[in-house]
């Protein structure tokens, strides 16, 4: 298997071969005409290259091989050892929080995703020094009580949603998000949640970081900075990017994110779950949580035609027995 570690070992093997070739040439007589300074000038860059491979690149390669997502942060807090813990804590907390919110948006099925979320454990797979590399991977129990095949499928979906985050900055232009993002991220709910995750992972001045690069195991890569944070924040005020339809849905309010003014409407007949944006107060959100409501507004569907993201213009109470859309 061609892993990052294997690639590094292959590079190191080439350098070892170059050193060996020079040593052989020197021992066969070529060294007699070279001073020790000249010999060092020839071999030192090769030894420096090996040192970098084993001391810097190899730890990063181990992190990449063990991770679903790798976050690479640069800035003052990623250089000075006295500030590094602050940056590591900021990164770790932000990434975990956003992955949980992504999980809630990614699962289209009925039911309470908090049950699955409690089973999902994003582990830190390693931290490489220098500029900070942190790896994250979903813990996948081989056999655990209460962990079903459906849960494994849900984990795959959650990881895929997390891998959408590095895709987002690829579509951030000066002042707007390119609508071509709808072709790259075809599930509107995941796209919206991934854009929020990217915005929140983009570093602030308080973090002591300048850029955060996100790489996924499927090869997606993106860089987040102040520009991305500002553009995404503005774009997310109008969540719908694709073809817009109008209608009403009745379901149960779950997983309210007050900061983003988003909530999940679940147990909708023939739909399952719908991510909704709307204008509401904290008191209204608390009153709706776990209750049946009717939302009316404009929505987007995924490629199969399933409604996935809605801008709710009207949110009102509905009888618990109703679970429909029209």
Residue percentage of the chain with pLDDT more than 90: 29
d(CA 154, CA 188): 18
Dig out the tokens for 128 from the structure.
């490489």
Residue 265 bridge partners (DSSP)? 253, 274
d(CA 189, CA 209): 29
Task: With beta carbons less than 8 A apart as the criterion, state whether 243 and 300 touch.
Answer: yes
48 Cβ partners below 8 Å, 6+ apart? Answer: none
For the cut 90, the answer to whether the pLDDT of residue 178 exceeds it is yes
> 199-231, pLDDT tens digit by residue?
999 988 777 788 999 999 888 999 999 999 999
Instruction: Read off the pTM.
Output: 0.76
Q: Calculate ∠ Cα 297-107-268, nearest 5°.
A: 45
Residue 154's pLDDT band (cuts 50, 70, 90): confident
For residues 309-314, average pLDDT: 93
83-117 core/surface letters (b: 16 or more CB in 10 A; e: else) = ebeebbebbbebbeebbbbbbbbbbbebeebeebb
Residue 195's pLDDT band (cuts 50, 70, 90): very high
> 163-177, pLDDT tens digit by residue?
999 999 999 999 899
Least confident of 39-53, 71-85, 187-201: 71-85
> 260-279, pLDDT tens digit by residue?
889 989 888 888 889 999 88
């Amino acid at each position: 298997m061609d892993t990052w570690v294997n690639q590094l070992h292959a590079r190191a093997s080439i350098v070892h071969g170059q050193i060996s070739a020079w040593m052989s040439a020197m021992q066969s007589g070529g060294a007699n005409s070279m001073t020790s300074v000249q010999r060092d000038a020839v071999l030192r860059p090769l030894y420096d290259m090996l040192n970098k491979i084993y001391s810097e690149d190899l730890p990063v390669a181990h992190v990449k091989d063990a991770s679903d997502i790798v976050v690479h942060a640069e800035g003052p807090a990623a250089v000075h050892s006295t500030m590094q813990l602050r940056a590591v804590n900021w990164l770790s907390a932000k990434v975990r929080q956003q992955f949980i919110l992504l999980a809630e948006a990614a699962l289209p099925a009925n039911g309470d995703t908090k049950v699955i979320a409690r089973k999902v454990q994003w582990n830190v797979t390693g931290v490489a020094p220098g500029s900070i590399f942190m790896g994250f991977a979903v813990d996948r129990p081989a056999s655990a009580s209460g962990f079903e095949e459906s849960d494994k499928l849900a984990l795959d979906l959650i990881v895929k949603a997390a891998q959408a985050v590095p895709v987002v900055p690829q579509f951030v232009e000066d002042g707007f998000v390119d609508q071509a993002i709808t072709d790259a991220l075809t599930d509107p709910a995941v796209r919206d949640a991934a854009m929020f995750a990217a915005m929140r992972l983009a570093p602030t001045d308080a973090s002591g970081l300048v850029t955060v690069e996100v790489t996924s195991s499927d090869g997606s890569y993106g860089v987040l900075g102040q520009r991305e944070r500002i553009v995404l924040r503005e774009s997310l005020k109008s969540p719908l990017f694709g073809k817009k339809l109008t209608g009403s849905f009745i379901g149960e309010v779950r997983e309210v994110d007050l900061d983003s003014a988003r909530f999940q409407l679940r147990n909708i007949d023939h739909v399952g779950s719908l991510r909704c944006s709307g204008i509401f107060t904290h008191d209204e959100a608390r009153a709706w949580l776990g209750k049946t409501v009717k939302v009316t507004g404009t929505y987007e569907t995924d490629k199969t035609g399933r409604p996935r993201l809605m801008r709710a213009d009207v949110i009102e109470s509905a009888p618990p027995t109703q679970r429909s859309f029209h």
